[in-house]
Amino acid sequence: MAAPCAEDPSLERHFKGHRDAVTCVDFSIKTKQLASGSMDSCLMVWHMKPQSRAYRFTGHKDAVTCVNFSPSGHLLASGSRDKTVRLWVPNVKGESTSFRAHTATVRSVHFCSDGQSFVTASDDKTVKVWSTHRQKFLFSLSQHINWVRCANDDKTVKLWDKSSRECIHSYCEHGGFVTYVDFHPSGTCIAAAGMDNTVKVWDVRTHRLLQHYQLHSAAVNALSFHPSGSYLITASSDSTLKILDLMEGRLLYTLHGHQSAGRGIEAFPCYLDRLLGLGLVQLRRGPATTVAFSRTGEYFASGGSDEQVMVWKSNFDVVDHGEVMKVPRPPATLASSAGNLPEVDFPVPSGRGRSVESVQSQPQEPVSMPQTLTSTLEHIVGQLDVLTQTVSILEQRLTLTEDKLKQCLENQQLIMQRTTP
């Protein structure tokens, strides 16, 4: 039986700096820095030390989809919709090198345990392995038949042997697209999240489905194992984070925190601030898009469509975690042979979990508003939606007008060339 948590998880800090939805987060070693990527094409590096200045790195030409610190913490890798991978030095200068890694969006980048190589996955249906220091392509894995995210869009999870470059096994039990995959710290199991609202855990030695959770009411976007291997956290479009006790096969906590005011209002931040200040707008829950435990497990971070990065204190039993951290683990690879793996067995839960406890960050008392203010607010939201649509239409018409004007000028030049003796 897993040791109980000493306290409930608590929200420690939240960072604001992105200008669009947060897509990915990762902690450096010793939890000194936290990196986040966003749809705003920027990479942010936050310092866990209070009152420390954050770094904003620019260079990608489109949304940043994935980030990962090297094992030493001296390098930070990022992938983007611009089809490139960048390797950054995470300091105030923010120096980086960029290379065209794929022919489509890069969905995942991850350093191997020795830091000598890293792996990328892409919408071009391939997984590629690269040399870190030489920044040289080593080899490609290509048996997927659709986009490869962290997992892929052909509804399968494929287990690869890095040495032989062979696909060892395909897991096909998901009913929808697979959005995220993570290895158990021991290397014996993998967990996969799906668009079908489920989380599944497989044994990579026997390829047996060990656990199946259906606790979310919307797509599960990301998940992360606690370094002790006893807990798994998930992030979902239903706005919640859920912490699972894998040893008992039950749900421990449901966390809320990421919020949204709606597309129409969020398009105009100046209006949003005023309406929030007047109490005319109530934030509603927004999708939780990413989540990750720190390397020590003391903290975990989450990101959402509300453009915020939140850092939570796990408050798990320190003694239990410390004992587990002393146990040596095999290096993480794309796949492992069964002969070298320690035994770790999880019970298969019979139901949806026996205990559900809820923790909500920044609890707010319900606020009742007069009907006239409610009607006014709904009218404002409607007008903002109309304004947003009008601007979009005007942009389209302006583009068409520019194209027609360009064509007219080209035709005029052709006519002048013909009439000139």
H/E run at residue 235:
strand 231-236
- The CA distance from 297 to 323, in Å, is 13
pLDDT at position 395 is 64
Q: Around Cβ 362, how many Cβ atoms within 10 Å? A: 10
Angle between helix axes 371-419 and 269-278 (nearest 10 degrees) is: 170
Distance separating alpha carbons of residues 232 and 295, to the nearest angstrom: 14
pLDDT of residue 161: 67
**Per-residue pLDDT for the chain (421 aa), expressed as one digit of tens each?**
444 445 788 888 889 999 999 999 999 987 789 999 999 999 999 998 877 889 999 999 999 999 999 999 999 999 999 999 999 999 888 899 998 889 999 999 999 888 999 989 888 888 888 999 888 888 887 654 444 444 344 456 777 666 666 777 777 755 678 888 898 998 889 999 988 899 999 898 888 999 999 999 999 999 999 999 999 999 999 999 999 999 999 999 999 878 765 544 444 444 445 554 555 545 556 899 999 999 999 999 999 998 999 999 998 754 444 444 343 444 333 432 233 333 345 554 443 443 333 344 343 344 455 667 667 776 776 676 667 667 667 766 776 777 778 788 888 888 888 877 6
| Gap between the terminal Cα atoms of the chain | 95
DSSP 347: P
Strands 284-285 and 288-293: unpaired
User: What's the predicted TM-score (pTM) here?
Assistant: 0.69
